[in-house]
């Protein structure tokens, strides 16, 4: 497996960090995780095509995680995509994607390209299982309904885990159990835990705690908040003080082998 990092920041962006999103190549299935703006442009810079996207997993329906859907789907239509495009959201949130797409008359227009919206309860049951690939999700603790994702694929077996936006919670640890790389919400530095929790997020140190409890091999600090901009060395040290494995802070437009 390989993760192509499209963006790494929380809602507030910077010249170096755009909203958090990535493409996961899971045994030849390309899964887009969250859909902020300029997904196709960023994919092109990584020599990927939006037509390669098998499906889209939206962790939750806050604006910076979903607002790019209309532009991406419009482009897919213009480029001649055929067949179904599954889009997964937390159960009960499907209407938000429908309303967003219908603003531009994009939801299941006539033609060979059909959108299949699927609500997931986040109960850990696989929503994709074929051959050696298994993907499941768990409900995490954010301000709105939110799911983290876990994908297992390849020989030897590799495990990718991604919390999305969350406070520290047991399901975040369960997502990352035994993972080869664990992408974890790290929106705030340690000294701002109360603020982090009030906003439904974690600190870098709490990401380290969860990764240690999960027995993850590598921890990727993700969804970097503006409070951490320019303090990457500090938050890496804060996470590493609580986690015995390797701590990464991915760059936008980078690729990470899993």
Average pLDDT, the chain: 97
Domain ranges of the chain: 2-257
Residue 22: the pLDDT is: 98
Secondary structure (DSSP) of 112-174 = SEEEEEEEE--EEEEEEEETTEEEEEEE--SSS--EEEEEEETTTTEEEEE--S--S-HHHHH
Indicate whether 38 pLDDT > 90. yes
Residue 240: the pLDDT is: 98
Residue 131: the pLDDT is: 87
Fold of 2-257: Metallo-beta-lactamase; Chain A (3.60.15)
Residue 64: the pLDDT is: 97
pLDDT tens per residue, range 134-165 = 999 999 999 999 999 999 999 899 999 999 99
Indicate whether 184 pLDDT > 90. yes
The CA R_g of the chain, rounded to the nearest whole Å, is 17
Indicate whether 226 pLDDT > 90. yes
Indicate whether 189 pLDDT > 90. yes
Global pTM value: 0.97
pLDDT tens per residue, range 59-74 = 999 999 999 999 999 9
The residue-averaged pLDDT of 40-45 equals 97
Residue 162: the pLDDT is: 98
Report the relative pairing of strands 254-257 and 2-7 from DSSP bridges.
Answer: antiparallel
Residue 110: the pLDDT is: 87
Q: Report the alpha-carbon distance of residue 219 to residue 96 in Å, rounded.
A: 32
The residue-averaged pLDDT of 27-37 equals 95
Q: Is the dihedral of CA 117, 121, 122, 125 positive or negative?
A: negative
Q: Report the alpha-carbon distance of residue 111 to residue 45 in Å, rounded.
A: 29
The residue-averaged pLDDT of 181-186 equals 98
């Amino acid at each position: 497996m390989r993760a192509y990092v499209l963006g790494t920041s929380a809602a507030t962006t910077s010249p170096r960090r755009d909203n958090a999103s990535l493409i996961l190549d899971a045994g030849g299935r390309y899964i887009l995780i969250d859909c902020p703006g300029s997904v196709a442009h960023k994919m092109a810079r990584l020599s990927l095509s939006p037509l390669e996207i098998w499906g889209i997993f939206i962790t939750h329906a806050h604006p910076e995680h979903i607002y790019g859907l209309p532009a991406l789907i419009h482009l897919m239509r213009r480029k001649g995509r055929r067949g179904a495009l599954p889009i997964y959201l937390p159960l009960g949130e499907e209407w938000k994607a429908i309303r967003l797409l219908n603003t531009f008359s994009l939801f299941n227009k006539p033609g060979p390209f059909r959108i299949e919206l699927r609500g997931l309860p986040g109960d850990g049951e696989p929503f994709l299982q074929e051959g050696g690939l298994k993907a499941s999700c768990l409900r995490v603790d954010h301000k709105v309904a939110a799911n983290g994702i876990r994908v297992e694929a390849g020989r030897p077996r590799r495990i990718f885990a991604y919390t999305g936006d969350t406070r520290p919670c047991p399901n975040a640890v369960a997502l990352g159990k035994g993972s080869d790389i664990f992408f974890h919400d790290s929106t705030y530095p340690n000294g701002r835990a109360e603020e982090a929790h009030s906003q439904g997020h974690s600190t870098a140190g709490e990401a380290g705690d969860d990764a240690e409890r999960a027995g993850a091999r590598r921890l990727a600090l993700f969804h970097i908040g503006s409070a951490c901009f320019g303090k990457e060395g500090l938050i890496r040290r804060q996470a590493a003080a609580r986690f015995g494995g390797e701590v990464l802070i991915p760059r936008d437009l980078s690729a990470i082998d899993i």
